[in-house]
Structure 1
Amino acid sequence: MSELTLNQDEIKKTGLDEARPDLSRHLEIHQALHAHSLTQPDDFWANAAKLIDWDKTWDKVLDTQNAPLYSWFSGGECNTCYNAVDRHVEQGRGKQVAIQYVSPVTETEYGITYDELLAQVSRLAGYMDAIGVKKGDRVIIYMPMIPETAFAMLACARIGAIHSVVFGGFAASELAARINDAKPKLILSASCGVEPSGVVPYKPLLDGAIDLSTHDVEQCLILNRSQYHAELTKGRDVDWQTAVSSARSIACQTVAATDPLYVLYTSGTTGQPKGVVRDNGGHGVALAWSMKNIYDIGPGDTFWAASDVGWVVGHSYIVYGPLLVGATTLLFEGKPIGTPDPGIFWRTIEKYRVKSFFTAPTAIRAIKRDDPDGDFLRDTDLTCLKTLFLAGERCDPDTLHWAEDRLGKPVIDHWWQTETGWPVAANLMGVAPIQVKAGSPALAVPGFEVEVLDEQGEVVPAGESGNVVIKLPLPPGTLTTLWQNEQRYLDSYLSMYPGYYLTGDAGYMDEEGYLYIMSRIDDIINVAGHRLSTGRFEEVLCQHEAVAEVAVIGVEDKLKGQLPLGLVVLKKGVFLSDEELHRELITLVREHIGPVASFRLVSVIQKLPKTRSGKVLRGTMRKIADNQEYKAPATIEDPQTLELVRNVLTRMGYADALIP
């Protein structure tokens, strides 16, 4: 084994597990591992591939013959479900809890052991096989945050079917678009989801989507929940419990490492969703590596990613990642606030001894807004918690510091995308934790060669902003193409800078190589010729003690081209006049960014429009402000927030002529 691979015994010999680690030595280790992954990728990833079991060893670790469409572990064969379930049972850990289900919205909690998980998954897979679902067939999963959703994903992987999860409650028209694109042999669904606002029936939405779609859906397997009973459509719908209880168990089917495991749709700029394709072999290797080395999670540990299985975080770190390494994964049906209060996360961590917790910055900001002093933390014992990880959107320094101060734990911002499938930049908490710099997701992870380029494709100096790109080839676990649309993959991601993957994010690197993601490329605003990041404005405004969260957009201005406009949400219990707040926020920006920012447009708003994953809809807000036609994104959490935005912007002199 190369001296630069992640060998825990060798790491311990260096003394890096001491209570006061040598951060400079850790930085050297991170940099050395990163260099090894780029200069000797075959050696690095062949060693990492030992973390999963293979039915057949690969012919090539990195296959470059179809560049820029690279592939990993070509010729290799494996099964993702076997690696996530069966092998742990075979190793004698069948009685360990695999999935801990916690549903404050239904007041239900129970654990599912690896033995029980194997039984459920193998029977569901057996049913699917019996009705003719074969390797390569697509299966759409339209379900809420319940264990059966994970069963469905693993059952597809077991027989080589390609699953496409569409989070429950998605609009019928959007679901229909995914049905038409994926052309599923089977749809797995549930009667309803349960939100803080109440029960959300899924079956009517599913029926509507099937009516709208041009693809003929042969069969739907419907799980009726106690909160809402759905009537089954004769000749098409089958009751889940009845079908699975009578099905025979089926063994895992070997698939090629390069065969697709799943297709996950993400919104496209054209309105047509993009189906990100993930393979089996590279995906398994990358996730197992990341669980061990980034999240510090191994067999028997409890890991909680507070996301939804409809998003990439749910795929990677609710279902596959934790199970691949034999951990216990916590599946949570609820919200950070309101189910029932801002202490639900902390009580859940305490009760189930969560070692690493992963959520979005927007969840922490929501908790901070409702519980600014951390009162709900005071009666909880969080000694089990080692690290809080944040991702999904940029984490402003104020939110990071608030969490650090209240929890007394390392708070680790890290950055990645639906397309990459696992972290691009992160702190390697499982092997060599380095200094945390607020506002940065730290260094590029081994396997990712990240650069910041200007419009001409030249690398910009340290500290200077530009377009964040990743040099090809991308490492294992990243997207291999877009479903049924290779040309769109090339055009969307690989054409702007030949030899690079375009992330769509803007930011900069400091002298030590720490990456700072400031905004999406289209969120860079041009104020009188000065290119300014909306993320930097938000970072400054969040420093004000009254501000819980903020969004800054660029609005059109005849004189300067664009001006920054800020919408701020205040913490609960704050009493401050509009005039005083306005003056203090403008002063803050002037002090930290300077007069060049021309910042004078700012207003309070009750709630920001966000997707269900917590991303603020800045692009939609910008269209509203500039009187452009817009459509509420299908992933929006609360459509009424767009009307709030429109009303506030109208009062500020914008959006006055818009006809939605």
Structure 2
Amino acid sequence: MLTETRSFPPAPEFAAQANAQAHLYNEAANDRLEFWAHQARTHVTWKTPFTETLDWSNAPVARWFGDGTLNAAYNAVDRHVAAGNGDRVALHFEGEPGDTRTVTYADLQREVSRAANALASLGVTTGDRVVIYLPMIVEAVVAMLACARIGATHSVVFGGFSADALRSRIADAGAKIVITADGGFRRGKASALKPAVDEALTGDSPVEHVVVVRRTGQETAWAEGRDVWWHDITETADIEHTPVWVEAEHPLFILYTSGTTGKPKGILHTTGGYLTQAAYTHYNVFDVKPETDVYWCTADIGWITGHSYVVYGPLLNGATQVIYEGTPDSPHQGRWWEIIEKYKVSLFYTAPTAIRTCMKWGEDIPNKYDLSSLRVLGSVGESINPEAWMWYRRVIGANTAPIVDTWWQTETGAIMISPLPGVTATKPGSAQRPLPGISAEVVNDSAEAVPNGSGGYLVLTEPWPAMLRGIWGDLERYKDTYWSRFEGLYFAGDGAKKDEDGDIWLLGRVDDVMNVSGHRLSTMEIESALVSHDFVAEAAVVGAADDTTGQAVVAFVILREEHAQNAGTAEGSESIQIDLRNHVAKEIGPIAKPRTILVVPELPKTRSGKIMRRLLRDIAENRTVGDATTLADSSVMDLIASGLSSKARS
């Protein structure tokens, strides 16, 4: 809703005490590189101080603070203990079954050191890759930090992904170790994780050991000589460990995200610049006061939000935070608000999908709980519609908590566009303006900045510290994917509009990557999964607007001739759709399961054979079909429409 003009100025009493002040914008504009050097010295402890801020001579690969050395785990844990804050709570853990655990910074230092020594005993050394496939438990955070402590590069895979998705990521990263669990708890029951790892490691694999956390106690298959229990190797390990000091550009993690070519991209982030921007943005965007605040980001560590705003950003700032294993509706729909009341959470960061879901459940549920501790609310993963923004502010924030609607990506590493609480007069539905130190613009097809009131493509015009350093093992793909559309500009893949004030409104993806509940999914990856099923001859997938998830997966499939007849009845059509949904879930993961599968006789294609997904989106969103004159056969759209009128839709 780009016509929304209402804005909410910061409360004077909040602004006076806010971490961020308006002068940050001027400081960054006057000397951007010195601004970032100051942030690096303020938020990060360096073993060897850097003397060079940015080397952009090998663009588009940046070197930030390149001659400095540091360690991510030391910055997240040890320095707080050394400063006398070892008794401060780092993590309040809530398991879905109701089990709890409180971990101080001193506790965390001991656990991370033990885990680092345990990994070293298995042969993990600096530069090795470790895949982490865990639920949202304390060991997930410890495992990431233990890898960072010894200079190993971690690659976290979301626990909802399938064995096939896990296999491809293990192989691409060349992982030496996989850290997993017997399972986790979700919606009131234990779900297994270890079987997916076992399946992923069949055949050739670089993995030497699988480390298994005992979480649920369920029966677990075991490969002698390969598998080891987490508790067996950590409980006997030394509690002292000297961190490995690495160069600022040392690879910290690889995180895989969907790409338009089907094969997931291994986004590579290095240490110094990433930590600088993660800590700086967390400190200023959430106005965190480590001595008094309790922070909660609901993201899983399998996504970039969990990396930057569960693990590294909050811990570098010495914050106290909540981590929760389960879903917002288990064992009841007030679970989140119950946790906020219990721990007196003051800073809360979640996704618009979750907010819209809670809206559907009704405001009487959050109204049962004391949410008066909340003072800053955040939104992440996709644009938040103004209606959900207003509900979030009114029902959850009591009309007083500022909302920071943040735009960023796996590739950017940290928040890029967001209001600053205490500084920005917020507008419902707008991410508003680039943070101090970030250079972003909305441009037209000729890479010219559009005037206020116009739309175009969102680009980043200058390098930033937390930017990806490439795609793992494929530098050319990195250049082609992000830097080829506009010369010298990073193209984010999102459309955007500037309102009359110059504030930015995100309009969604302009490529064929869907955003489902904040998770980026490739249309081609899902199409490939569908076509791998015996029933399917051809498939096209689009993202359609969805009130709850932002976008939903809609698939158009042409069945092989021998199966097409079965789709002629409602019963046969439903059976086929169930089979195909389950197949996609197995190949990629449940998050990629199509909401709707439409069996069609043909697909709309141009003369060059390209599927015109724009027309399919029109059908999926029940719009009048747009211009079809460039199709090789324009009658195809009539054929699809007539065919669908006789098919059952899920």
TM-score normalised to structure 2 length: 0.79
**Residue 234 of structure 1: aligned partner:** 224
**Residue 556 of structure 2: aligned partner:** 624
Residue 472 of structure 1: how far off its partner (Å): 2.5
* Structure 1 unmatched runs, 5+: 1-15, 525-563, 570-607, 609-613
The answer to whether 1:67 aligns with 2:59 is yes
1: CA distance, partners of 2:111 / 2:380: 31
1:112-155 deviations in whole A, cap 9, x for unaligned? 11111111110110011122211111000011110001000000
1: CA distance, partners of 2:558 / 2:372: 50
Change (3 A) 1:20 1:331: closer
Change (3 A) 1:511 1:86: same
**Residue 233 of structure 2: aligned partner:** 243
| SS of residue in 1 equivalent to 2:202 | helix
Residue type at the aligned position of 1:444: P
Change (3 A) 1:645 1:318: farther
Residue type at the aligned position of 2:301: V
1:439-469 deviations in whole A, cap 9, x for unaligned? 2012111222111111222222211111111
Which moved further from structure 2: 128-137 or 304-313?
Answer: 128-137
Conserved 8 A contact 2:19-2:287: no
Residue type at the aligned position of 1:191: D
**The one of 467, 486, 495 aligned to 2:475:** 486
2: CA distance, partners of 1:426 / 1:510: 15
Conserved 8 A contact 1:169-1:193: no
Conserved 8 A contact 2:252-2:269: yes
Equivalence map 1:374-389=2 (5 Å): 374-389=363-378
**The one of 191, 205, 212 aligned to 1:200:** 191
**Residue 276 of structure 2: aligned partner:** 285
**Residue 427 of structure 1: aligned partner:** 419
1:551-571 deviations in whole A, cap 9, x for unaligned? xxxxxxxxxxxxx997666xx
Equivalence map 1:341-356=2 (5 Å): 341-356=332-347
Equivalence map 1:42-441=2 (5 Å): 42-49=33-40, 50-103=42-95, 105-196=96-187, 198-211=189-202, 214-248=204-238, 249-300=240-291, 301-336=293-328, 338-371=329-362, 374-407=363-396, 408=398, 409-429=401-421, 432-441=422-431
2: CA distance, partners of 1:639 / 1:61: 41
Residue type at the aligned position of 1:518: L
2: CA distance, partners of 1:154 / 1:92: 20
| SS of residue in 2 equivalent to 1:37 | helix
What is the count of residue pairs matched by the alignment?
Answer: 550
| SS of residue in 2 equivalent to 1:366 | helix
Change (3 A) 1:318 1:26: closer
* Structure 2 unmatched runs, 5+: 1-9, 514-541, 561-579, 601-616, 623-639
Residue 417 of structure 1: how far off its partner (Å): 0.8
Conserved 8 A contact 1:199-1:227: no
RMSD across aligned C-alpha pairs, in angstroms? 3.2
**Residue 642 of structure 1: aligned partner:** 595
Conserved 8 A contact 1:386-1:410: yes
2: CA distance, partners of 1:291 / 1:632: 36
Residue 296 of structure 1: how far off its partner (Å): 0.7
2: CA distance, partners of 1:157 / 1:275: 18
**The one of 459, 464, 489 aligned to 2:449:** 459
Conserved 8 A contact 2:130-2:153: yes
2: CA distance, partners of 1:139 / 1:234: 20
Residue 227 of structure 1: how far off its partner (Å): 4.1
2: CA distance, partners of 1:651 / 1:291: 37
| SS of residue in 2 equivalent to 1:44 | helix
Equivalence map 1:551-566=2 (5 Å): none
Identity of aligned residues (%): 36
Residue 264 of structure 1: how far off its partner (Å): 0.4
2: CA distance, partners of 1:142 / 1:615: 26
Q: Flag the structure with more relative contact order, 1 or 2, with Cα contacts below 8 A and sequence separation at least 6.
A: 2
Residue 231 of structure 1: how far off its partner (Å): 2.7
| SS of residue in 2 equivalent to 1:616 | strand
**Residue 582 of structure 1: aligned partner:** none
1: CA distance, partners of 2:87 / 2:271: 27
Residue 643 of structure 1: how far off its partner (Å): 4.3
1: CA distance, partners of 2:13 / 2:598: 49
**The one of 493, 500, 513 aligned to 1:504:** 493
